[in-house]
Amino acid sequence: MFKRTYLAFFGLCVVFGLLIVNIGVIITDLDSSTVAKSQSTKSYTLSSSRGMIYDRNMEKIVNSESEDFIACLPSTKALNFINTYANENDKKDLYDSLQKGKIGIFKNSVTVNENDIKSFSLTNRYSDTQPCIHLIGHLDENGVGVMGLEKVYENLLSRQGGKLNALWSVDAIGNVLFGEGIAIESENYLSPAGIQLTIDLNVQRIAEKALENNIDKGAVVILDSYTNEILAMASIPTFSPQNLAKDINNKDLPFINRAITTYSVGSVFKPFVLCTAIENNTDLKYNCTGSIQVGNKTFSCSNHTAHGEVDMKTATEKSCNTYFIALGQQIGAEKILSISSDFGLGKKLELADNFYLNSGNLPTTDRISSPQDLANLTFGQGELLASPLQMAVAYSCFANGGYYRAPTLMKGIIDENGDTVQKVKLPQQYRIFNSKTAEKIDSFLESVVTNGNGSKAFSPLSANRGKTATAQSGWYENGREINHTWFCGYFTANEKNYVVTIFKEDGISGANDCAPVFKEISENILQLEE
């Protein structure tokens, strides 16, 4: 009873207010021509948009979801409509707005196109399950990009956006002119202009799902080895761009993009030592006893396992530390560091205009001042640091026959007609080692999966290659050293070579943590290609 009385009261107030406005026009003795001359259009911006961000197939990465709203002007019909369709919590504010002669707006999916009542849709910049969130970044409370590509391309994306406006007629003193109605007009609101990335959303979703299923803190990077275009870049944990505050103090640091953060790499570095040896015509057969003495320090294989007589192939299969230490002693630090630099390690990467990534750390020869330093380097420990993206780029050289090409994230700039007006050229490719070396290492990496400690990456559906790693981080938690685990590898599907790096922060072993994730990703991409 009270609610009906309350609503009736406000309804009468609104109607009374409208009558007063009309009486005021009569009292002032304004004829119709005078009113017409004095009327104007009032505009209210319902929403502002930014430039689009597309994947390689022109699928929207942002602005992919929308919500439905109702806008209405003061009228008896609007009052009844609000009473029927508006949320109870919104009604008082809506009645207050209409009573004051203002526009009323509320969320509802009803389609209506009356004179004083119009439905419209507003596009959300991000979805509840926003893909590529670490790469895309987010906006501040003023709609300005403050992280990721939103920040890098702020000037471009903010220029390419538009507005959705509500318009209605008012008289000289700002009162609504009844009968004129309300219009919803787009001011280039959803222009197709924006940027196009190399990301493939289908592949990106596979990468994100694989992380969600298997890893709590880590990253996946997927490249096309022929072009080194980035097809997927995923990091976990993620954050919600619609509720940033809840993650600010999260101890798991969800705002960090682990795909481009640098870490100790461990044994995924060993193929670079192999490459150096083969390129310098160095070979070695070695008897592994489970440990090796270098100066005053003892280095061991995993669990002190004695591998016995090993060559390059079996040493790679078993990830024999002592073999690679002995091989490194024959080659020397200078040659290993030189070819590692050719792979892009220690070099800053520019993914887009002014979007530079951490170079990591490739020690200089003067930092490898002792035999112990060299020993650490040969199995990816010591001062060597690289990101999952850098490791993916490096492994693409094994996948494509010995060529290095810097990675690419941008395809081009899209104009208001949806056409590419500025196409990004691929970086130049150059050979860093010969094809026979590539063939040998390829066979070793295949054997790691078929016969070695990377067997959990094996799939009957594809010829998977790769290398595992368990790297000491130098970080400690409650007296326990945190290990980082890896799998770097590649496979072929429909004439495309996919290079995949999986990284887990605080893992057990690359063989158990990351190799199965590689298998899952390869099989899902193969199904995608069918």
Helix and strand element counts for the chain (H, E):
17, 23
How many Cβ atoms from other residues are within 10 Å of residue 33's Cβ?
A: 8
Single-letter code of the amino acid located at 135 = L
Strand partners, 169: 41
- What is the three-class DSSP state of 250? coil
CA–CA–CA angle 78, 83, 89 (5° rounding): 115
Element (H, E) at 219: strand 218-224
pLDDT at res. 23: 37
Q: Judge contact between 389 and 359, C-beta under 8 A.
A: no
Round to whole Å and give the CA distance between 175 and 170.
Answer: 5
Strand partners, 47: 164
For CA atoms 189, 191, 197, 198, the dihedral sign is: positive
* pLDDT-flagged residues of the chain (< 70): 1-39, 529-530
Of 221, 224, 269, the C-alpha closest to 441 is 269
Round to whole Å and give the CA distance between 520 and 210.
Answer: 7
Write the DSSP symbol of residue 166.
Answer: E
Q: 9-56: per-residue pLDDT in tens?
A: 445 454 444 444 443 333 333 344 444 445 688 889 999 999 999 999
- Who's near 136: CB < 8 A, 6+ residues apart? 53, 61, 62, 126, 130, 148, 149, 150
The torsion region of residue 368 among left (phi > 0), alpha (psi -120 to 50) and beta comes to beta
Of 5, 170, 3, the C-alpha closest to 74 is 170
Q: How far is CA 393 from the centre of its chain?
A: 17
Of 368, 296, 380, the C-alpha closest to 335 is 368
Write the DSSP symbol of residue 429.
Answer: P
Element (H, E) at 437: helix 435-451
Phi, psi angle pair for 442, to nearest 5°: -60, -45
Architecture of the structural domain at 40-196: Alpha-Beta Complex (3.90)
Single-letter code of the amino acid located at 150 = E
| Domain spans in the chain, listed from the N-terminal domain onward | 40-196, 199-529
Three-state SS string across 341-399, please? HHCCCCCCEEEECCEEECCCECCCHHHCCCHHHHHHHHCCCCCCEECHHHHHHHHHHHH
- Who's near 330: CB < 8 A, 6+ residues apart? 277, 282, 284
The domain over range 199-529 is classified in CATH as 3.40.710.10? yes
Which residue shows structure tokens 């961000």? 53
- Who's near 118: CB < 8 A, 6+ residues apart? 70, 71, 72, 112, 166, 182, 183, 184
Q: Judge contact between 84 and 112, C-beta under 8 A.
A: no
